[in-house]
Structure formats: C-alpha cells, structure tokens
Amino acid sequence: MEPFSGVTVRQAGADDAVGGVQPRWVALPETVEEVSAVLRDCAERDLAVVPAGGGTKLHWGLPPERCDVLLDMCCMNAVLEHAAGDLVVRAQAGVTMDALAGVLAEKGQELALDPPFAEHTTVGGTLATAAAGPRSFRYGTARDLLIGITVVLPDGTIARSGGKVVKNVAGYDLGKLFTGSQGTLGVIAEATFRLHPLPAESRWVVAPLPSGDALARVTASQAEPSAVEIDCPGGAEGADATVAVLVEGSAAEARALELREVLGDGTITAERPEWWGLILRDDVLLELRFPPARALEALAAAGEAGFAFRGSAATGRAYLEGSEEELAAVTGLRARVEALGGRLHVLAAPETGVDRWGQVSGLPLMRRVKERFDPGRRMSPGRFVGGI
C-alpha cells in the first residue's frame, strides 16, 4: 500500500502509539521534498500528523487529539555540511546528537548543547522540545546556537529562515519560533548551528551542596564556570544533594582549584559525574524555572513535594523527577515556585487532568500563531500549551 506519493510508508503498530493514540501509518521521508510531499497529501486528505525523532520524548506533552500519520525522521540522518573554518554545521533533523558530535569532534569542534538522551535524541527532537543541558549557562540553549532552519509547514510549504552565517538579522527568525514548538507548527527538516571549539580541558569540582551564598559566589566567579549543577535524588532537606561545577579551557585545573576554594570543599575530577545532564526517569517529569538566587529555596520546595531535582543553579532551570503519586503536589508546588518568581510545568505525565503549564501570559498570541501556521489543526493537535 502506498498512500503517499513516492515516500516509504509502513502500517503503524501498537509501538507507534503517541500518548496512547495509534496512528494509521508511519511515513519515513528521506528528503525535505519528501516531507513536503507527505504533508501536502495529508493536507488534502485532512490527516493529522505527529513528527518524531528518536522517540525519546514522544510521550512528553498531552496525547494528540488525533494522529493519522507518524512522520518518522530517522532516515533524514545526514550531516550535510560541516564548515569547520566557519564553525558552522548543517544537518538533517534525524541526525542523532551523538552522531553529530562524532562528526564534529573529528575537527575538534562541538555543538555545545548537551541534551538528555544524546545517544538517541535527534537534532529535530532537541529543537522541538528545546531541551536544555548543563552548559546552557555558558553557551545558551538550542535556540541560541541555531542559526538557520528549514521547516515544512502543514500544507507542505518548505520555508527557510536564517542561513549559515552566525550573524544575520534578515527577516523573522522562524528558528526561534519552531524551537520548543513540540511539533505543533510544522516539521523541522534541517538545521544549521554555530559551533564551538572543543574545550582543551574539562574539570568538575564535585562537592556537597554548599550554602546559598557560596553557590552564588561560584556562579558569579570570574573563574567562569561553564555549568553549576545540583543533583538531589530525593529527600526533603536536600541533605544528599551534590553540586558539580564544570570548568572548561586550557587552564581548567587552576580555575577549578579557585572554585573549590569558594565551595570550601570538594574533589576535582576530569570525569563527569554519572548523573550529569541526565534524565533518569521520565514517567513524571517536570521542568522547574527559578531565579538563580532562589536556587536553594526552589530545591527545598521540590524536595518537600517529593521530587528528585537535577539541574542548573546558574540558569535557574531544573528537571524534577517523580512518580504518579507526586503529581497531586504539582499545584501546591507551582504556587510556591511562582511566589519565588519561578515557573513549573509538567513535561511528561500520565493523563490525569493536572494543569500542565500554569499561567502562560502570551497564550492568546500563541493561539493566533498556531491558527496561522496550522489552520486545520493537523500538526500534533492538542499536545502543547493550552491544548494548542
């Protein structure tokens, strides 16, 4: 059976279900044009589409209102151009982050994002979920390193914005709009990123959680850490919490010593802590945002609500892991966090009717954007904020 013009398609099985909704087909496009062809066909036949990368976060968000076609990007896995002299790479959306890192490392460069599940997660998935890693403190998040994008709109239109130069302010930045759009506006087909040279050396200072004051001084230190991460597997007091501070550069060791001084304690190692930048459980996963100066209060609040906490004290962004029991605590925790000037949203959870996002001030505008890009509500319908 060949429901889409010339594109490889297979019948979907139970394994292909997105949030419990099983699609009819799985399409496996190999080029941007094929993505476009599939989407055009779907538009004509009013079929709903959910794009998928490595499938690592496909269960995040709400289940789609409907899903006829799963657009599996796994075959679009080419690194199209690595212009090392320009510190730029262009890749198809289905390339996994690890594979990309391998190619870049050959020339001593890297894409300085360290999203969770790097082995399986793809460029497209990393962008669509805007998942951030520890070093975003120094390098920014996916949207900050993305310099060009090719997207395919629900009607099959192929559109590009940005380019392959770091500096570029011509036209609207569709890349930013699509980063974190959770597949609800269209399909990310290709992306171009700015790169960094691989750091000469990396050192982690690992220590028990220090005082808020020491934490602040580490973050603001002129020794310039690349990341300040807290890991707290559980417990209300944060007693078993660890902080790990990463320093990168040719003088990493000396700077690490300086930072250990500030922390008052800790070991310096060239090995990353095994929990570094990982998500270990994501049946119930929340994202916590907080003003960095309130890190310890945020940590305490999360701990009291029963969540494990892992994330950046420097950027004020952490993942909270828990189980279904803790879901009931979300509303209360959100109130506490908002009082600190932060936010709490649910990235992944079984459908229980819990309010996943809380207040979103730009929601009416977001709805208008969605209406313009996807008037037929066929792209991952209902999966994102406010049921967009």
Burial letters for 173-208: b for 16+ Cβ neighbours within 10 Å, e otherwise? Answer: bbbbbbbbbbbbbbbbbbbbbbbbeebeebbbbbbe
| CA terminus-to-terminus distance, the chain | 32
| 125 binding other proteins? (CB under 8 A) | no
Reported as half-sphere exposure (CB side, CA atoms, 13 A), residue 218 has a value of 39
* CA separation, residue 276 to residues 116, 122, 130, 227 (Å): 9, 19, 18, 10
Residue 225 or residue 303: which is nearer to other proteins going by CB?
Answer: 225
Site residues (CB under 8 A) for other proteins, limited to 88-117: 88, 108
Closest separation between CB of residue 98 and other proteins, Å?
Answer: 22
* The only residue of 168, 267, 323, 331 in contact with other proteins, by rule CB under 8 A: 168
As a whole number of Å, the CA-based R_g of the chain is: 21
Closest separation between CB of residue 2 and other proteins, Å?
Answer: 27
Closest separation between CB of residue 104 and other proteins, Å?
Answer: 13
Of the candidates 311, 302, 298, 350, the residue with the CA atom closest to the CA atom of residue 329: 302
Task: Give CA–CA dist 159/260, Å, rounded.
Answer: 49
* The only residue of 58, 111, 123, 185 in contact with other proteins, by rule CB under 8 A: 185
Interface with other proteins by CB under 8 A: which range of 15-23, 26-34, 287-295, 304-312?
A: 287-295
| 14 binding other proteins? (CB under 8 A) | no
| 331 binding other proteins? (CB under 8 A) | no
* The only residue of 177, 214, 268, 354 in contact with other proteins, by rule CB under 8 A: 177
Site residues (CB under 8 A) for other proteins, limited to 304-323: 316
Residue 28 or residue 215: which is nearer to other proteins going by CB?
Answer: 215
Site residues (CB under 8 A) for other proteins, limited to 203-262: 216, 220-224, 249-251, 254-255
Task: Give CA–CA dist 347/176, Å, rounded.
Answer: 19
| 17 binding other proteins? (CB under 8 A) | no
Task: Tell me if residue 365 falls in helix, strand or coil.
Answer: helix
| 176 binding other proteins? (CB under 8 A) | yes
* CA separation, residue 35 to residues 29, 46, 52, 114, 218 (Å): 6, 16, 12, 27, 47
Cα four-point dihedral sign 234, 238, 240, 244: positive
Residue 85 or residue 353: which is nearer to other proteins going by CB?
Answer: 85
Angle at the Cα of 82 (from 84 to 157), degrees rounded to 5?
140
Closest separation between CB of residue 327 and other proteins, Å?
Answer: 17
| 174 binding other proteins? (CB under 8 A) | yes
| Residues 42-71 as x/- pattern, contact with other proteins by CB under 8 A | ------------------------------
